[in-house]
């Protein structure tokens, strides 16, 4: 069972290892931030959520009741 993570090439859709610099099939450079990279999307979501929550807390404290 192969548990190594792969990402598809944006040009030929062949599977490549996450740490590869270029596609083994077509030779094109692989994207540093691949669109299917879930960790970068999750990190962005968490940062946006914290920023919005902080803004809401400031507005609750600042606005008159």
For 8-58, write each residue's pLDDT tens digit.
Answer: 888 999 999 888 899 999 999 988 776 666 677 788 899 999 999 999 999
How many domains does the chain fold into?
1
3-state class percentages of the chain: helix first, strand second, coil last, to nearest 5: 40, 10, 50
* pLDDT exceeds 60 at position 1: no
Tell whether 1 is covered by a domain: no
User: 34-38, long-range: CB within 8 Å, 24+ apart, which pairs?
Assistant: 34/7, 34/10, 35/10, 36/7, 36/8, 37/7
Q: Is 10 exposed, middle or buried (0-12, 13-18, 19+ CB in 10 A)?
A: middle
Tell whether 34 is covered by a domain: yes
* Residues 12, 28 contacting (CB under 8 angstroms): yes
* pLDDT exceeds 70 at position 2: no
pLDDT computed for residue 18 by the predictor: 83
Range of the domain at 52: 6-62
């Amino acid at each position: 069972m192969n548990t190594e993570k792969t990402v598809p090439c944006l040009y030929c859709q062949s599977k490549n290892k996450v740490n590869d610099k270029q596609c083994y099939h077509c030779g094109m450079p692989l994207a540093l931030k691949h669109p299917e990279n879930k960790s970068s999307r999750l990190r962005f979501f968490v940062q946006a959520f914290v920023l919005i929550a902080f803004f809401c807390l400031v507005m609750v404290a600042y606005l008159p009741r």
